[in-house]
Amino acid sequence: MLLWIIIALLTGAAVMAVLAPLGRDQAVADPQEQARRVYLDQLAELERDKADGRISLNEATAARAEIARRILSTDDGKPQPRRMGGHGARRVIALVALAGIPIVSLSLYLGLGAPGVPGQPLAARFATSSGGENLESLVAKVEQHLAGSPEDGQGWDVLAPVYLRLGRAEEAQRAYSHAIRLLGSNAARQSGLGEAILEAQGGVVTADARAAFAAANAAEPSAPGPRFYLALAEEQEGHTEGAAAGWRALLAEAPADAPWRIPVEQALARVSRPKEQPGPAAADVATAEAMARAERAAMIEGMVGGLAERLQAKPDDIEGWLRLIRSYAVLGRPVDAAAAARAALEGLREPGQRQRVEALMADLALPRAEAAP
């Protein structure tokens, strides 16, 4: 009996809490706007967790896309405040609710309730909730909204990470640029812009991507993402010592359980690997300068030939291919340089490495196809 008295009191309190707003004649806030604010707070908290290293870059991207999806689902136009009816109507509603809500609730509970069933964990509910409306259709709605309101910076800010998550890198780059122009620069937007450019360029840290990562690092020096990509830019430019220094500093400051330690350690191991006879060094060149022309040519030819043989056994050595192509060009052998470039393109599989070879071919004006006899 005591249990039912407690239930009745709790039900009455809940009913009064629900009916209390009926006694005030005031505008009611748009529920969609309230939900939007909650999701924006979640987005800000996510960025703080990412900056502190509590979640990995991939986890942050996935969570950001899910929060953005929820924000997009609330965007169906401008919020419309509404007012309640007169006092008489509110009294009728109050009486009906006061009598009807407990009766209906109790009837439904007795008929449908299952107290013995355990509650569903929060993580499972969060995962299930993402299977609602298709993300692409939500993106299409916001795209339609932005087509009519292109100065809505918040819309671009929400849409940009979703584009990146969907692999639409060029559109993500455009969305981040609009968000920065309309809302201002911050670490999250600049880092996202850099990642979008990086993905659009096949993994190459271009000058624009590097500038975006540098701006993100200046705004938030402790954020690991921009620092990682700035070190990657050093590696791609051939400055392996600078890349290694950047990654070592990042690991020195990283928490022991940081989920992004593994990719940083792998990158550091890659550039710290001892080089296998990297070709003509400065000392070799100086020695060659003192030799007779024939001896000097023979020495350089031997070095280049040895490098070419090693690359046949190790066709994925991007730095070796670049040295070989440049060496042939310096020796005045453009045909061999072009052949080496084509062999490199056949042996390399990573898009970023292939783009570096193609860029060198363009710099040296090498033909992309073998000339007909």
Q: DSSP label at 109?
A: H
What is d(CA 174, CA 291) in angstroms, rounded to the nearest whole number?
A: 56
What is d(CA 52, CA 110) in angstroms, rounded to the nearest whole number?
A: 48
Using the predicted structure, report yes or no on whether residue 79 has a pLDDT greater than 60: no
- Asked if residues 258 and 60 have their Cβ atoms less than 8 Å apart, the reply is no
> For position 174, what pLDDT does the model report?
96
> For position 41, what pLDDT does the model report?
80
What is d(CA 280, CA 282) in angstroms, rounded to the nearest whole number?
A: 7
What is d(CA 93, CA 213) in angstroms, rounded to the nearest whole number?
A: 58
Beta-carbon contacts of residue 113 (< 8 Å; ≥ 6 apart): none
What is d(CA 303, CA 285) in angstroms, rounded to the nearest whole number?
A: 11
Which residues are paired to 82 by β-bridges? 28
Q: Which of 225, 66, 87, 78 is nearest to 158 (CA)?
A: 66
pLDDT-based confidence at residue 4 (cuts at 50, 70, 90): low
| Assigned CATH class of 135-272 | mainly alpha
CA atoms within 13 A on the CB side of 293: 1
Characterise 117 by phi-psi region: left (phi > 0), alpha (psi -120 to 50), beta (else): beta
pTM, whole model, 2 decimals?
A: 0.47
- 232 burial (CB, 10 Å; 0-12 / 13-18 / 19+) is buried
Which tops the pLDDT comparison, 346 or 66? Answer: 346
Domain 282-364 has CATH 1.25.40: yes
Maximum distance among all Cα pairs of the chain, rounded to whole angstroms: 110
**Residue pLDDT, tens place only, 163-205:** 998 889 999 999 999 999 999 999 999 999 999 999 888 888 9
Using the predicted structure, report yes or no on whether residue 10 has a pLDDT greater than 70: yes
- Asked if residues 319 and 358 have their Cβ atoms less than 8 Å apart, the reply is no
- Asked if residues 54 and 144 have their Cβ atoms less than 8 Å apart, the reply is no
Using the predicted structure, report yes or no on whether residue 122 has a pLDDT greater than 50: no
Element (H, E) at 93: helix 87-112
> For position 350, what pLDDT does the model report?
85
The residue extents of the domains of the chain are 135-272, 282-364
CA dihedral 232, 237, 238, 240 (to 10 degrees): -30
Q: Which of 273, 276, 279 is nearest to 322 (CA)?
A: 279
Count the Cβ atoms, other than its own, within 10 Å of residue 215.
19
Beta-carbon contacts of residue 47 (< 8 Å; ≥ 6 apart): 60, 187, 188
Using the predicted structure, report yes or no on whether residue 162 has a pLDDT greater than 70: yes
> For position 186, what pLDDT does the model report?
95
Count the Cβ atoms, other than its own, within 10 Å of residue 72.
25
- Asked if residues 222 and 51 have their Cβ atoms less than 8 Å apart, the reply is yes
- Asked if residues 327 and 334 have their Cβ atoms less than 8 Å apart, the reply is no
- Locus of tokens 């052949």: 339
**Residue pLDDT, tens place only, 232-283:** 999 988 899 999 999 999 999 988 888 888 889 999 998 887 554 455 555 5
